[in-house]
Amino acid sequence: MRRFITILLFGLSRLIMAQEKLDSVGAIIRDAETQEPVPYASVYVSPGCGTISNYEGEFALQCLASETIRISCIGYQSVTYRGSELPAVVRLRPVSTTLKEITVTTKGEDILYRLVTKMQREAKRHRKAEAKYFFRMATQYPGTDELAEAFMTAKSCVQIRDITFHSGCRGQLKDNKLDGPSLTGLGRTNMHIFLRLSPILVNYDIWDFTFVPADIVLRRMKNLYQTSTVQFAQEDGTPVSKIRITANPAITSRPILDGTMYIDSKKCRLLRFDGQIHNLHIELYDQAREQHLVTSIDYTMHVDYRHDHGFTEIASMSGTISKDSIRIRQLLFNLGEKKLIFSKSVRVGENMVRAIDKVGFDSTLWVTNNIVKRTQAEERVAFGDSTFWQANKSKYNTAPTLQEQRTDTYLQDAIRQLKDNTMQLQRMPSTPRSY
């Protein structure tokens, strides 16, 4: 009889939950001390329901009012809310470090060595492991904004590789008050290959000419970097080693990636990497003048990892490419256990936009799935809706300021100089040098 009552109560609870309606909830995540937005924080409800905050710290998703939302980011104390109690602003408190910063000793180098060798073994054992991702690239340059989005799969263990698109869309928004030639060719490049860049590379591909933090132990090139560490504990007691890896400024002949690695010291797991690349040159091809130009760019990246499948897997990745008045921002989000059915597949080669055009747009994927909230600037160019700008101009207060009006002449000159340019990462020739 007791068992029957238990089964009945369980059935009634499931029926009540089934009758609950999904609510659309959202918030902006800020640092509790600085009040600055916290971009790319994890927002988790269940294996099939979650997202990350966008570049401006905003997120939105659908969940039941009774479900628990967990918001976390490495270096911050995580918080939880019921869907019905989520505040408009979520403030995350930074984790206080327990030790002062010290130079990494043999013990610190041992952590890096064990981490790199462990991830190499994982990459061999799980080389065929794939994950479903949502991808976004936003490009800004004088007079024009572009946005491209896609559902994709890729090899996900340790490093992203073998990218395949299944549905995509893109849009462009031009500022009509600026007269000048179009720059529509700028986004049609191979900039998606930055998704393959990682602090630990198992398949170097185009990045085999770059030094990465793993080279400290793999190639025994200790003069490449200087290292220091801070140790702290997450609120659940997990010991974390925050290892800062700084590139040697004397190394100028090849690109070199440095940054900060957050490592679970007890389980020897990479949790997060915040990095930047130096000495990276790209090739700009000016179609109007039919000539190649070599220039340098600034690139920053942030990668979060997950381990629920028994290996180190890319959970989310973001990167920003900057050059003068040009900015390219990329985002990649692991869709976890979302049940998605793909009807088309196009392997991405050297041109991402061409692959998006070829695979086409599957509206069912975009209607039934919550992804990553767009920023207001991204909303303006979503799906190429050129009417969005005019219809929502008052909402976003986009009237140009006096300073912006004074820059019109500069922008028009920049447009003419960059006419029909394309941006392509190339292996730049370098003088052989021994390390």
Q: What angle do CA 429, 431, 435 make, to 5 degrees?
A: 120
- Cα distances from 148 to residues 100, 134, 135, 338, 357, in angstroms, run 44, 11, 8, 21, 10
- Tokens for 295? 């220039």
C-alpha–C-alpha distance, residues 41 and 302, integer Å: 11
Rg for the chain, CA atoms, rounded: 23
What local confidence, expressed as pLDDT, does residue 217 receive? 83
- Tokens for 117? 């060798």
Under 8 Å between Cβ of 152 and 166: yes
Domains and CATH numbers, the chain: 2-92 (2.60.40.1120), 126-210+280-424 (no CATH)
Q: What are the strands of the beta sheet with 161-174, ordered from one edge?
A: 102-103, 225-233, 239-247, 256-264, 269-278, 298-306, 313-323, 326-334, 130-141, 144-155, 161-174, 346-347
If residue 406 lies in a helix (H) or strand (E), which one and from where to where? helix 402-406
- Cα distances from 386 to residues 100, 181, 184, 381, 396, in angstroms, run 53, 18, 14, 7, 15
> pLDDT tens track of the chain, all 435 residues?
544 444 444 444 444 444 466 778 899 999 999 999 999 999 999 888 889 999 999 999 888 888 999 999 988 989 999 988 999 999 999 886 544 444 444 455 688 889 999 999 999 999 999 999 999 998 887 777 888 899 999 999 999 999 999 998 888 777 655 444 444 555 556 788 899 999 999 887 789 889 999 998 877 666 889 888 888 887 777 888 999 999 998 888 889 999 999 999 999 999 999 999 998 887 765 555 566 677 788 899 999 999 999 999 999 999 998 887 788 899 999 998 888 889 999 999 888 888 888 998 888 887 766 689 988 888 877 755 544 444 444 443 444 555 545 555 655 665 555 555 666 666 554 444 433
- Tokens for 431? 């003088």
pTM greater than 0.85:
no
Task: Report the DSSP beta bridge partners of residue 147.
Answer: 138, 171
Residues in Cβ contact with 408 at an 8 Å cutoff, skipping those fewer than 6 apart: 177, 178
**Ramachandran quadrant class, 6 (left: phi over 0; alpha: psi -120 to 50; beta: rest):** alpha
Distance of CA 113 to the CA centre of its chain: 26
What local confidence, expressed as pLDDT, does residue 347 receive? 94
